[in-house]
A = this chain, B = another copy of it.
Amino acid sequence: MAVSAREKKSKLILDVAIKLFTSKGYAGTTMDEVAKTAGISKGLTYFYFKNKEDLYMAVTKKAFDELKSVFRDIIKMKGKSGLQMLTELTHLYFEFAMKNRMYNDAILNFMGILQLYNNILTRGQIHPLILESEHFQRLLEIHHDCGKLGIQMVSLGIKDGSIRPELQPEVTFYTIWAMIIGYERLTGPVGFEEKEIKIHLDNWRPGFVKLMQDMLKGTIQAQKPQIVQTSLF
């Protein structure tokens, strides 16, 4: 079998896994189902992916790749200020998380694992099969790529004047990322209907984005109509 055929089958399994993990969760999905849905034998699934953890790490890798391409698409946009890029990022990130909750969960899960990994004392709590997975090793190398692109956006914003010059790009971007991640999670409590709390999902998003922008640009330009942006689009 040609290499491309091999990759094709591997991708098939991966796609099936993503679909199943999305609809039934990791724990709720069995390797049997993955094989059956992919139309291949269970044995073959294990030929392509060492074990279930390995498969999940492959899925996580895919999630990071997808996310990275979101970042890349934005940074390639011409005529956008750094601030606009980050605003755009926020919106696309939410879309990304909504369209494929599974991806977002996988990314969050990986970040959790990373916390354990960073501390030698807790590293042992990570499932050995995860540590063995080549996809996990690969993730260790590439998981910062999105961060790097995001930091670039902030740097660009500082350069083009859309972002306060005194901000540190690294810290700033990770703070924004934190906001985005947290936002996604808080969708649950916020969306919960309760009379006492008057926020609605519709109100929240614009308010959230506005706050983020305020945080970055300060209030200096806020008086006059948003010239900066108008000039950009």
Question: Within the complex, which residue of B27, B191, B215 is in contact with A115, where a contact is CB–CB below 8 Å?
Answer: B191
**CB <8 Å contact, B83 and A229:** yes
**A9 contacts chain B at the CB level, 8 A cutoff:** no
**CB <8 Å contact, A188 and B228:** no
**CB <8 Å contact, A178 and B185:** yes
In the docked arrangement, what's the CA distance between A232 and B214, Å? 13
A222 CB, min distance to chain B CBs, angstroms: 4
Known: A144-B196, A148-B197, A162-B226. A112 touches B185 (CB 8 A): yes
**A129 contacts chain B at the CB level, 8 A cutoff:** no
Question: Within the complex, which residue of B125, B175, B177, B182 is in contact with A207, where a contact is CB–CB below 8 Å?
Answer: B175
Q: Please tell me how many copies of the chain the complex holds.
A: 4
A175 CB, min distance to chain B CBs, angstroms: 5
In the docked arrangement, what's the CA distance between A221 and B166, Å? 10
The segment from A11-19, A51-59, A66-74, A198-206 found at the interface with B is A198-206
A47 CB, min distance to chain B CBs, angstroms: 11
**CB <8 Å contact, B174 and A186:** yes
A64 CB, min distance to chain B CBs, angstroms: 11
**A211 contacts chain B at the CB level, 8 A cutoff:** yes
A88 CB, min distance to chain B CBs, angstroms: 11
Contacts of A227 in B (CB 8 A): 161
**CB <8 Å contact, B207 and A172:** yes
Contacts of A135 in B (CB 8 A): none
In the docked arrangement, what's the CA distance between A166 and B214, Å? 12
Nearest B residue to A127 by beta-carbon distance? Answer: B28
**A213 contacts chain B at the CB level, 8 A cutoff:** yes
Contacts of A198 in B (CB 8 A): 170
**A123 contacts chain B at the CB level, 8 A cutoff:** no
**CB <8 Å contact, A81 and B228:** yes
Q: 1/0 per residue A21-41: CB within 8 Å of B?
A: 001100100000000000000
In the docked arrangement, what's the CA distance between A215 and B207, Å? 12
Nearest B residue to A205 by beta-carbon distance? Answer: B171
Task: Find residues 129-186 in chain A having any chain B CB closer than 8 Å to their own CB.
Answer: 140, 143-144, 147-148, 151, 160-162, 164, 166-168, 170-172, 174-175, 177-183, 185-186
Known: A143-B192, A192-B114. A162 touches B218 (CB 8 A): no
Q: In the A-B complex, list the 5 residue pairs whose CB atoms are closest, starting with the nearest.
A: A178-B182, A114-B188, A171-B207, A218-B219, A182-B182
